[in-house]
Amino acid sequence: MKRPLLFSSILCLLIGLLVGVLIPIDFRPEKPATADAGTMTFATLDTSGSSSSSGSAASSQPAPSAPPANDNFPLLNTACVINQALRQRDYATVAKYVHPERGVTFTPYSTVNFDSDLSFKAAQIQGLTKDQTVYSWGFEDGRGDPIKMTMEQYFARYVYDTDYTQASMIGVDQIVTTGNALENLTEEYPGCRFVDFCLPSADPANDGLDWRSLKLVFQMEDTGWFLVGIVHGEWTV
């Protein structure tokens, strides 16, 4: 259900006040929201690794003019919109944020490898439920079997394998949890920024070995932040 613009503005102001210590906020007016981003509750990490609890995040489409590249709030706001759209399988909204030239690249296990990771354009993301092509996405961790899936199957397993709107920790340019896999996102995406939605553990009995993360990588253009990478993370052997 779409929320009134006033309510969305209040949510944006609220999160700004709550995380303002860690995230610089620019309160200049932005383009009104056109997607239902819902609300999220999370703790954020800045690049120093410190944390702060925050409340709800509302959404907006990319602004008519790009915000400052070091302004964390528009970046986090855009990431939350995409997170919510992925949860709702609203791929038309996700496609609006895909980089128009570069497209978006998918990495199944933390380590980015442009030689094997697949990239898709916005139109392909929008129509992914109709694409029955079986693609080779890489290899399964541990067993080494090839990952052969349709786009929809891959999204279910290696993109949105859990509800990341319930992420208890969010890292802005900060990887929250690491495993045995090489974390080379920052090296492979120079000049880009990312938001890491992380669920450190679903069950304390698993001693953190069931952690999962969704990293959304963005590149700044004249009209705002555009999605260029989706990196899935989980515990690996």
Q: Is 147 a member of any domain?
A: no
147 vs 122: CA distance, rounded Å: 22
Q: In which domain, by residue range, is 42 found?
A: 5-103+155-234
Residue 235: φ, ψ to 5°: -65, 135
Overall pTM surpassing 0.85 (yes/no): no
How many domains are there within the chain? 1
pLDDT (0 to 100) of residue 143: 79
CB 57 within 8 A of CB 37: yes
pLDDT in tens, 96-118: 999 999 999 999 999 999 999 99
Predicted confidence (pLDDT) per residue in 38-71, tens digit = 444 444 454 444 444 444 444 445 544 566 777 8
144 part of a folded domain: no
Alpha-carbon span 67 to 196, nearest angstrom: 20
Q: Is there a domain that residue 181 lies in? A: yes
User: In sequence order, what are the residues at sequence separation of 6 or more whose Cβ sits closer than 8 angstroms to the Cβ of residue 14?
Assistant: 55, 56
- Counting beta carbons within 10 angstroms of the beta carbon of residue 68, is it exposed (0 to 12), middle (13 to 18) or buried (19 or more)? exposed
Indicate whether 198 belongs to any domain.
yes
Task: Identify the pLDDT of residue 206.
Answer: 63
Q: Does residue 217 lie within any of the structural domains?
A: yes
Q: Which of 143, 234, 119, 220 is nearest to 180 (CA)?
A: 234
115 domain-assigned: no
Can you tell me the distance from the alpha carbon of 23 to that of 38, in angstroms, rounded to the nearest whole number?
21
Residue 128 lies in a domain: no
List per-residue pLDDT tens for the chain, 237 residues long: 434 333 333 344 344 433 433 333 332 333 333 334 344 444 445 444 444 444 444 444 554 456 677 789 999 999 999 999 999 999 999 999 999 999 999 999 999 999 999 999 999 999 999 999 999 999 998 778 999 999 999 999 999 999 999 999 999 999 998 878 899 999 999 999 999 999 987 667 666 677 899 999 999 999 999 999 999 998 776
Residue 134 lies in a domain: no
Give residue 69's pLDDT: 75
